[in-house]
Structure 1
Amino acid sequence: MKLSQFGQKFAESTGIVDLMDDLGSALNENPEMIFMGGGNPGRIPKVEAIFKDRLESVLQDPEQLHSLMGIYQSPEGDKGFLTQISGLLKKQFGWNV
């Protein structure tokens, strides 16, 4: 297919797309690899169990499920969470965030 100059620009490979492809395929191709790049979180089984339990409870509550899957958060994030985490940081470290 012949693309215009504009179309060619958007059809070309970009650095970020290449990086995301590399990051996405790395663990799929070698799941035992210790992955220390791209901000990929480490696996902590006890934390994963907590997340799993919480997600299962969300799936059982239609209102929470809709909130999770059907309502976009603001770019700043969930205001309730931000209030809670800023309170924790102030209590534990004296930080006024």
Structure 2
Amino acid sequence: LLTPQGVKEVFQFQRPQGREHLRRLLNWEEFDEQRDSRRSILLDTLYESIIFAVGKGFPWVEVAQVVKFTEELLRETKGAGLQGLGDHLQEVPSSQCK
């Protein structure tokens, strides 16, 4: 579980160190970025969600929630294709979209 302090730490690092810190906070094992491109892309996406949320001025508590939401969305739509993703996003309660 990411904490507000954890996402703040990730944000304060440069990208490579921030991604590595995020990987550790998520309790992921080390992996080969070249061989495991799926995991590398997922880590990039979660890292970028932090950068996006901070850039939009979200409080740290909400930045952590954005990462959780992004991770859940990616897990729930795995293999669904673009149409499935669009359908899923239409089902997201507006309370989760700020």
TM-score by length of 2: 0.24
Higher relative contact order (CA 8 A, sep 6+): 2
Q: State which structure, 1 or 2, has the greater radius of gyration over its C-alpha atoms.
A: 1
Query: Greater helix share, 1 or 2?
Result: 2
TM-score by length of 1: 0.24
